Amino acid sequence: MRLLNGEPLAGPWPEAFCYHGASVFTTLRVERGEPLWLEAHLFRLRRHAQALGLPYPGDGAFLKDLQALLAHFPGASCLRVRLTVGEGVRLAEARPYTPPPQSAYREGVKAVLTPYRVHPDLAPYKTGNYLPYRLAQRWAEARGAFEGLLLDAWGHVVDGSRTSPLLFREGTLYVLEGGLEGITREEVAKKAKELGLSVARAFLRPQELSGTLFLAGSGVGLLPVGKPEEALLPLVEAFLPACYTE
């Protein structure tokens, strides 16, 4: 007998999904009924599933799920949607979303370096093998920080527990390499070029992070770590959640 939340669970038990983190997922923000960068999210989800040998059910299956989720929240200005693929398992979840306070986008948040490292083989993939990121987030929260940064095996800062880092220094916005391919971060890089900023990619160690650090993610848009210079505010404001731009 198997119980899920105290209730009998019918059907096969997806052991690899539940016990081993054998899944990939993507999280996206929905604003005024429109999923942001949906095509890119589905493309990454499909590629990550295929890379790890997980059967992808097809974009159409998730598009149908998404329609049902959006119908359940009519009129919501901001939703967070999570789409997950496992071995014979497809999950689609949605919930109303409250972003960080609007003041955080002008005054900045705090980020700390944690002792945790990303998996050397799985770091590029958004998998259910998520424990290092959860530990990093708890480490940060225990120190009053919004975000905890993770290293790779060579000591580069490559990821945040829930965001993707970028660094602005001397006129150039650096995309920190080595971690998950962040979709929001890639959109930030595109927008930065439109605004006339130089964009580069680099592997950087903690002592090389002089400048302004930014955190990009579907849940937050683009958050500065510490107060950014005025010239960078147009880039931050371009990714403000809809509830602050209505």
Q: Verify that 171 and 194 share a domain, yes or no.
A: yes
Tell me which residue range forms the domain holding 112: 104-244
Q: Verify that 88 and 108 share a domain, yes or no.
A: no
Mean pLDDT, residues 167-189: 96
- Report the pLDDT value the prediction gives residue 210, as an integer from 0 to 100: 94
Count CB-CB contacts under 10 A for residue 94. 20
For residues 134 and 172, give the distance between their C-alpha atoms in angstroms, rounded to a whole number.
Answer: 31
Q: What is the CATH number of the domain that holds 151?
A: 3.20.10.10
Closest CA to 109 of 238, 217, 234, 231: 217
DSSP-assigned beta bridge partners for residue 80: 29, 95
pLDDT, one tens digit per residue, over 101-157 is 999 999 999 999 999 999 999 999 999 999 999 999 999 999 999 999 999 999 999
Specify the number of domains making up the chain. Answer: 2
Residue 3 has pLDDT above 60, yes or no: no
Q: Verify that 51 and 156 share a domain, yes or no.
A: no
Global pTM reads 0.93
The DSSP symbol for 56 reads P
pLDDT, one tens digit per residue, over 106-121 is 999 999 999 999 999 9
For residues 85 and 57, give the distance between their C-alpha atoms in angstroms, rounded to a whole number.
Answer: 8
Q: Verify that 58 and 116 share a domain, yes or no.
A: no
Residue 162 has pLDDT above 80, yes or no: yes
- Report the pLDDT value the prediction gives residue 15, as an integer from 0 to 100: 80
Residue for token digits 């890639």? 186
